[in-house]
Structure 1
Amino acid sequence: MDMMTVDLSRLQFALTALYHFLFVPLTLGLSFMLVIMESVYVLTRREIWRTITRFWGTLFGINFVLGVATGLTMEFQFGTNWSYYSHFVGDIFGAPLAIEGLMAFFLEATFVGLMFFGWDRLSRVGHLIVTFMVALGTNLSALWILIANGWMQNPVGADFNPATMRMEVSDFTAVLFNPVAQAKFVHTVSAGYVIAAVFVLGVSAIYLLKGKWVSVAKRSMAVAAAFGLASSLSVVVLGDESGYALTDNQKMKLAALEAMWHTEPAPAGLTLFGIPNLKTHHTDMEVKVPYVLGLISTRSLDRPVIGILDLVETAEHRIQSGVAAYDAVEKLKANPQDLAARAQFEAHKRDIGYGYLLKKYVADPRTADAALIQKAALDTIPNVPVMFWVFRLMAAIGFAMIALFALAFVLVSLRKAEHTRWFLRLCVLAIPLPWLAAEAGWVLAELGRQPWAVEGVLPTFMGASSLTVGQIWVTIVGFTLLYGTLAVIEVGLLVKTIKTGPYASKFGRMHDAEEASPLQSGGLAGPAE
């Protein structure tokens, strides 16, 4: 396999995935915020809440369409750019994606039209149920996709079959309840809720600064403050759970994001700041908080955290075992009845993926010498500086979001938010931050499992299709132009909708059209009804 083809295929998938992930989190969060807003409308029957729900629902719809369009492109790439990957793990990886399409996508696609066009055709409760079904479908879609992705990070419930040369399901229940997948789902969904809350908070702040749609903005900000505070706290708590899942399933990723070259004796400390040095295998200017990493990753004070170099040594032994598994597979190809080869395979099958790491350097892993085995073992180290800094960027933004929403909740509760200009400006400036954290999280998850397409099972370079460099460049340029155009259209529609403001009520009244901002009038805005 030409490594340039592999690298370009990875680049193309990364670009489309990062672009797709700009829209998915906002869709996840806005869907349930709409349920909350419409629930208030159903309970109070106050017309302003209907206006609020329809306004944010329009922004949800614009974002939803582009999320669907970019998601379809990603799924096609498994067949076009990663055909051997699809062949090798399709029995397992394809099932959650198929269920996502049949269950979640059809559910949200069925009800999303009713949500937009059923306001005057359904009862209040009936329309609320429709909105809830859209939110449920949207979040179920994320669940099944993250079950598929979680299996790539921790391939449980499947075994390699030497007769078919593929991974096959042995326990689908284990695939569904994969601890890595469950941790990723709750953490990712909570991050989406934070993104939506910041978006609503920021747009509401813009309205309050400009003195437009004040009653709509105040109520929207109140929902966003409470929803965002709960979500931002859950992101940190559930991120801690993700860190614990890494200890048992992805030790190298955990060591890399901490730039922990050597095993840290218990209780391990968490590095707040440092400069990873790839030459000396040391972290310069290191500032640590004692005990914290041990508590997060092992839930104990007496278990060490394994370092990068010790994990490389372990990888060398697993590569040697993988060579034995590869040898057994080749013998079984020649004679499926070879009982000795079958026993050899069963003893070493867990490590056959490590044997495949050598195919980057030699056609037959059995011909590799000790130097090549050591070289392949070093390939199991991801990009440590990128992992180290991306994790700290994500964590810093996460704690900043908790502070922002705690401040917003206090000011909204005291009815001072609309009077505090510096706070409103802060809300506007904060809009891009959770998106940056979400993209950083994706980079951390996907870069951290390299060199694996499926952790410990299939190296990334083996999964790519036999495409030419020119073919991939054509699609990269094409997708960039297409997605660039769609981004301009989507942002333009969002800005236009925000400038236009909320819908009129069904009685024809435009809420707050003439209402002065408290920043301008010096007093609180009156009720809209």
Structure 2
Amino acid sequence: MIDMTVVDLSRLQFAATAMYHFLFVPLTLGLSVLMAVMESVYVMTGREVWRRMTLFWGTLFGVNFAMGVATGIVMEFQFGMNWSYYSHYVGDVFGAPLAIEGLMAFFLEATFIGLFFFGWDRLSRVGHLAVTWLTALGANFSALWILIANGWMQNPVGSTFNPETMRMEITDFMAVVFNPVAQAKFVHTVSAGYVTGAMFVISISAWFLLRGRHVDLAKRSIAVAASFGLASALSVVVLGDESGYTATEHQKMKLAAMEAMWHTEPAPAGFNLFAIPGDKENSFEVQVPYALGLIATRSISGEIPGILELVQTAGQRIRNGQIAYAAMEAVRADPSDAKARETFAATWKDLGYALLLKRYREDVVNATPEEITQAAFDTVPGVAPLFWSFRLMVVIGFYLIAFFATAFWRASKHRIGTNRALLWIALLSLPTPWIAIEAGWFIAEYGRQPWVVEGVLPTFYAASGLTLTDLSISLAFFLTLYTTLAVVMIFLMLKTIKAGPKAAADWIDGAGGSRFVPEGAAAFPDHR
């Protein structure tokens, strides 16, 4: 029997490391593009203040990038430590985009970030600008390949199961790359990263203005970040709608749980603006008629199945999966059994549903109706956490649109530094993009449960055979390590921010020179 305590601790450990790592990824995406935009303006205008902006925000980008690398490496090792059967079962598919990410994206980003810091006196203006843009491109490519891998876990296309090797194998790599779920997740996640970078720049710049320091740099930074952030925040909403549409097509249970929709409603379904989810029923709900059906299906006739109806469908797939499981065992016993191979080829896509029964008995073919019913209800993720996480993300998303619109309007009127209330709002709003992003990541991963690969491999079946002692020690170690890294990260960020743009520029000039300072110009003239 499966020890669910071991599975839960394994999940907790991966969730802690993944969500901590994801604190750094969005800021890397956003700051990389913003500093490339700032350096582009510097190259076009020659104004030194834009170079100082690039150096200052680039220094903060470097600190964040280093922490992201340190936390991301641990996650890679967990696939072998905590999820060894997952690595065996789907490693042929999942490992390909991860390998490409390392070879194509991470090395690109890591190489050019070094040139960014140490190449100022060794490259021409245009050459260094190309380096900065390539750094941003590497960061975005990295996100692309990671989300292709993750998107396959949400919608496992372009692959098939080989009963002889007991592994998933790629049959169409282009289908994996152009997986609609992966593409929707990529553009949505990257846009959210841009929003995070924009809010970070605005919040720190607002702090400078509140203290009357580095005024010219802060105002220009806010002007760039406000326009960039407004466009990105609007994109997040539009692209989030696309993510919801793909969930309607490929992850019906996740969508139903997010909306706490227990029963299939007449099309178009209403949107639960507020609800108190219970077991198999909501005790209270306030609906917006037709809204969910129109958003999720983009039609007035498209039907969205409810949770309980999807449980019945899962039960049917479990029974079909039992046939696949029996055929798989027959093929393994006699590879020349053509009839068994034919049966398996027709039913293998439901094999993962049969594996849900492994939680209750080893011989899944002989499972009782009660066990099948239990396994079918296991396909329902936690409704209340998903319901409220989604609404928290949406509320913050619309707040950020309003905030960036206000900041953009005031910046365009050259009045960004005259309203101290808005500056305080900007400073206090710093955590909001991270809260929304973590909520979104939680929805994506928790909403997929009980699957580590949707419909293919149950999470409990993918875990390594570790002991509670092993997991407790490693979990305590990782939490201690990550807490230490968090303290170091905050210390370095605050130290860099308090020191200001001049200190960042002095450090980089000491490492890579100041080739681009016009002859005879003051070292850091605010008026330029």
Q: Which category describes the TM-score, using the shorter chain as reference length? A: over 0.9
* C-alpha distance in structure 2 between counterparts of 1:118 and 1:355, whole Å: 57
**Distance in 2 between residues matched to 1:465 and 1:285, nearest whole Å:** 41
1:283, CA displacement in angstroms? Answer: 2.3
| Separation of aligned partners in 1, 2:201 and 2:24 | 15
1:511 positional shift: 4.7
State the one-letter code of the partner of 2:208. Answer: Y
Partner Cα separation in structure 1 for residue 525 and residue 198 of structure 2 = 22
| Conserved 8 A contact 2:277-2:284 | no
**How far apart, in 2, do the equivalents of 1:103 and 1:347 lie?**
37
Do residues 422 (structure 1) and 421 (structure 2) align? yes
Q: How does 1:123-522 map to 2 (within 5 A)?
A: 123-278=124-279, 281-503=280-502, 506=517, 507=521, 509-512=523-526
Whether 1:27 aligns to 2:31 is: no
Q: What amino acid is aligned across from residue 239 of structure 2 in structure 1? A: L
Contact 2:49 2:524 in 1 (8 A): no
2:100 maps to 99
C-alpha distance in 2 between matches for 1:483 and 1:390: 24
Q: For the residues of structure 1 that align with 2:183 and 2:456, how far apart are their CA atoms? A: 21
> What amino acid maps onto 1:385 in structure 2?
A
**AA of the residue aligned to 2:246:** A
Q: Shift of residue 14 of structure 1?
A: 0.2
Distance 1:295 1:53 in 2: 44
User: Could you say which residue in structure 2 is the equivalent of 1:519?
Assistant: none
The 1-side partners of 2:146 and 2:475 are apart by: 23
Corresponding residue SS for 1:418: coil
C-alpha RMSD of matched pairs (Å): 1.0
Decide which moves more: 238-247 or 474-483.
Answer: 474-483
Task: State the match for 1:524 in structure 2.
Answer: none
CA distance in 2, matches of 1:410, 1:42: 26
CA distance in 2, matches of 1:511, 1:330: 76
In the alignment, structure 1 residue 115 sits paired with structure 2 residue 116? yes
Look up the match of 2:10. Answer: 9
TM-score (norm 2): 0.96
One-letter amino acid matched to 2:467: T
Measure, in 1, the Cα distance between the counterparts of 2:361 and 2:283: 37
Of 495-504 and 311-320, deviating more is: 495-504
Report if the CA contact (8 A) 1:261-1:307 is conserved. yes
Matches within 5 A, 1:57-68: 57-68=58-69
Aligned partner letter, 2:203: G
Distance in 2, matches of 1:41 and 1:157, equals 45
How do 1:12-91 residues align onto structure 2 when only pairs under 5 Å count?
12-91=13-92
| CA distance in 2: counterparts of 1:360 and 1:394, whole angstroms | 33
Q: In the aligned structure 1, how far is the partner of 2:294 from the partner of 2:74?
A: 41
Contact 1:264 1:304 (8 Å CA) reproduced: yes
Matched residue SS, 2:9: helix
Q: Could you tell me how far apart the structure 2 residues matched to 1:70 and 1:264 are?
A: 44
**Greater mean alpha carbon deviation, residues 410-419 or residues 55-64:** 410-419
Q: Partner amino acid for 2:318?
A: I
Match of 1:303, SS state, is coil
**SS of residue paired to 1:416:** coil
CA distance in 2, matches of 1:285, 1:434: 30
Q: Give the whole-Å Cα distance in 2 for the aligned partners of 1:106 and 1:410.
A: 39
One-letter amino acid of the structure 1 residue matched with residue 87 of structure 2: S
Offset at residue 508 of structure 1 (A): 5.3
Q: Structure 1 265/511 Cα, relative in aligned 2: closer, same or farther at 3 Å?
A: farther
Identity over aligned residues, as a percent?
63
Maintained 8 Å contact 1:205/1:428: yes
Q: Distance in 2 between matches of 1:108 and 1:115?
A: 10
Report how far residue 344 of structure 1 moved.
1.6
Q: Deviations over 1:189-243 (max 9, x none)?
A: 1001001100000000000010000000000000110000000000000000000
Q: Report the CA distance shift for 1:157/1:271 in structure 2 as closer, same or farther (over 3 A).
A: same
| Poorly superposed stretches of 4+, deviation over 2 Å | 281-285, 503-512
Q: 1:215 touches 1:511 (CA, 8 Å); kept in 2?
A: no
1:114-134 CA-to-partner distances (Å, cap 9, x unmatched) read: 101111221111110000010
Is the 2:258–2:390 Cα contact (8 Å) retained in structure 1?
Answer: yes
Distance (whole Å) between structure 1 residues aligned to residue 173 and residue 303 of structure 2: 33
- Hey, what's the Cα distance between the residues in 1 that align with 2:222 and 2:451? 43
Cα displacement (A) at 1:348: 1.1
Q: Which residue in the other structure is 2:509 paired with?
A: none
- How far is 1:282 from its partner? 2.4
TM (normalized to structure 1)?
Answer: 0.96
Query: Which shifted more, 429-438 or 114-123?
Result: 114-123
| Distance (Å, rounded) in 2 between the aligned partners of 1:509 and 1:285 | 64
Distance 2:448 2:229 in 1: 30
Structure 2: gaps spanning 5 or more residues: 507-516
- Taking the aligned partners of 1:332 and 1:299, their CA distance within structure 2 comes to 44
| Aligned residues between the structures | 512
Distance in 2, matches of 1:298 and 1:22, equals 32
CA distance in 1, matches of 2:295, 2:247: 10
Cα deviation code 1:10-34 (max 9, x no counterpart): 0000000010001010001100001
Alpha-carbon distance between aligned partners in 1 of 2:522 and 2:58, rounded to the nearest angstrom = 19
Report the Cα distance in structure 1 between the residues aligned to 2:481 and 2:381, rounded to whole angstroms. Answer: 31
Cα deviation, residue 168, structure 1: 0.5
**Cα deviation code 1:394-415 (max 9, x no counterpart):** 0100000000000001111111
Give the deviation of 1:291 after TM superposition.
2.1
Report the counterpart of residue 516 of structure 1 in structure 2: none
Tell me if the contact between 1:213 and 1:511 (Cα under 8 Å) persists in the aligned partners: no
**Alpha-carbon displacement from aligned partner over 1:393-441 (angstroms, at most 9, x marks no partner):** 0010000000000000111111111000110000001000110001001
The one-letter amino acid of 1:393's match is L
Q: Which moved more, 1:408-417 or 1:447-456?
A: 408-417
**C-alpha separation in 1, matches of 2:414 and 2:395:** 28
Which residue identity lines up with residue 240 of structure 2 in the other structure?
G
Give the Cα–Cα distance (whole angstroms) in 2 for the partners of residues 397 and 179 of structure 1. 26
Q: CA deviation at 1:54?
A: 0.3
Q: Distance in 2 between matches of 1:383 and 1:433?
A: 24
Q: Secondary structure at the match of 1:304?
A: coil
Cα distance between partner residues in 2 of 1:86 and 1:247:
28
What is the one-letter code of the residue matched to 1:253? K
TM-superposed deviation, 1:346: 1.7
Partner of 1:515: none
SS at structure 1 position matched to 2:265: coil
